Structure 1
């Protein structure tokens, strides 16, 4: 069920202040050229009524408010991106319905559309209204979030509306009934979780944070994913260091074994009175093949000249 475009003059809509900049009506938009449409969008984005300035200032509720909505946006984008689902998720983006003043919600979602970036959500240009709005309430106007927006968004045909109340640590969810009536019904809680049909996810509050669940699987936030990757990298680096240390120890032991064999060969030759030239000594001391040194050691016990040690190794 996609959000329909509200028709201008809908009697269920709340009155709009005359001084507020409004989006073109459907008829006006249809009569515009592409260049005129682009100009109209930029003009709307550049203009602000005093009411919008007051609203924007009221939205500046500090880090708890900003962190919650950005974490929600980034978590949802990452989740849908990994699954290849076509759904747009935005945060603090202006939304314009035909003939209406624009409004900015903390998080919005629109299903079955290109998820690419946008300057605003112009309903006339997109061909559909938004499907879901999430408001993060911290210290702003309680009546606007919990009363006025419930009426207005239902009248606009926004399918679902959720309010995450940070100070109280709970969520309220609203959904339009399937009958087509433009009046929200409360979404019931299921063990503290509220189902979003638009997102196909459950919303809940855990440890003072807004979280999302796909059945029993909790969606990992971007920060948690980075932390997990960092721990994986640290574990891999530690494993490499351990392996390098073991390799170095094995190399040291191998070098010690080679040195002992080389010394033993020269010692046996010396004890038997067999002289070895500097060239022969260098060859024995520089040999790195353990099996060759073992053969030379055996040969040193019976050889009559140092050259006999090397006869067996010519084919290696």
Structure 2
């Protein structure tokens, strides 16, 4: 991995906050508790970076010209500590561009996500660029993805519409199916079909399982009591 000559004390600023987007950015992904399960699924935390809402740029620039801050960024075989130290992803320092970025639609950024960012992310060499829109109002589609071709241009990733209205597309770099499902972004293992559950979903599943167990035990006790009553008659 090559390292550009960057002052060790340099740290990128935080991107500007936009209150109207607070539920459409990386914080929202974290609040839905998918980041940690996704990190667990992808593995190799020492060299795999999953982040978002931090600047992504080719090299250090005080003006941050051409820098973007995607809602979700995933990169393999990089140095996560360098990202944390710089407060952002510097391609020259990491030695490679991110493998995957995703933007979540908002009224403020919807047009830019569709019209401007594909060219920017392609120029940076990002293998896959995905867009998710819970309503389809801001991206003009609910789920879309582009894959970088040999000529340096993006080509659309096939999106399948399933019988239940779910949309899904396959990410080669993540080896995952991304799904639009009832306005929610879901992640599925293509080999097993297993949904990568959020912590909240796992907790709710455990609660349902415990309730079912208690109900079954209560039913057994009820039947045992009835049987004992019949035997005593």
- Tell me if both proteins adopt one fold, taking TM over 0.5 as the criterion: yes
Aligned equivalent of 1:78: 37
Aligned equivalent of 2:108: 140
In structure 1, what is the Cα distance between the partners aligned to 2:60 and 2:104?
Answer: 26
| Structure of greater Rg | 1
Matches within 5 A, 1:12-31: 26=4, 28-29=5-6
In structure 1, what is the Cα distance between the partners aligned to 2:223 and 2:79?
Answer: 52
Q: Structure 1 residue 227 and structure 2 residue 204: aligned?
A: yes
CA displacement at 1:125 relative to structure 2: 3.5
Aligned equivalent of 1:104: 69
CA displacement at 1:72 relative to structure 2: 9.1
Match of 1:207 among 177, 182, 195: 182
Whether the 8 Å CA contact 2:50–2:72 is kept in 1: the answer is yes
Say if 1:238 and 1:125 are closer, same or farther in 2 by CA, change over 3 A: farther
Match of 2:98 among 109, 126, 130: 130
Between the two proteins, the alignment pairs up a number of residues equal to: 209
Whether the 8 Å CA contact 1:73–1:89 is kept in 2: the answer is no
CA displacement at 1:194 relative to structure 2: 1.3
CA displacement at 1:221 relative to structure 2: 2.2
In structure 2, what is the Cα distance between the partners aligned to 1:128 and 1:72?
Answer: 29
Q: Structure 1 residue 60 and structure 2 residue 35: aligned?
A: no
Say if 1:166 and 1:98 are closer, same or farther in 2 by CA, change over 3 A: same
Which SS does the other structure have where 2:116 is aligned? Answer: helix
Q: Structure 1 residue 186 and structure 2 residue 156: aligned?
A: yes
CA displacement at 1:226 relative to structure 2: 1.5
Whether the 8 Å CA contact 1:97–1:123 is kept in 2: the answer is yes
Structure 1: unaligned runs, 5 residues or longer: 6-24, 47-51, 254-316
Whether the 8 Å CA contact 1:92–1:106 is kept in 2: the answer is yes
Which SS does the other structure have where 1:40 is aligned? Answer: coil
Normalised by the size of structure 2, how large is the TM-score?
Answer: 0.71
Aligned equivalent of 2:164: none
In structure 2, what is the Cα distance between the partners aligned to 1:227 and 1:163?
Answer: 28
Normalised by the size of structure 1, how large is the TM-score?
Answer: 0.55
In structure 2, what is the Cα distance between the partners aligned to 1:113 and 1:103?
Answer: 19
Say if 1:82 and 1:62 are closer, same or farther in 2 by CA, change over 3 A: closer
Aligned equivalent of 1:173: 145
Structure 2: unaligned runs, 5 residues or longer: 162-166
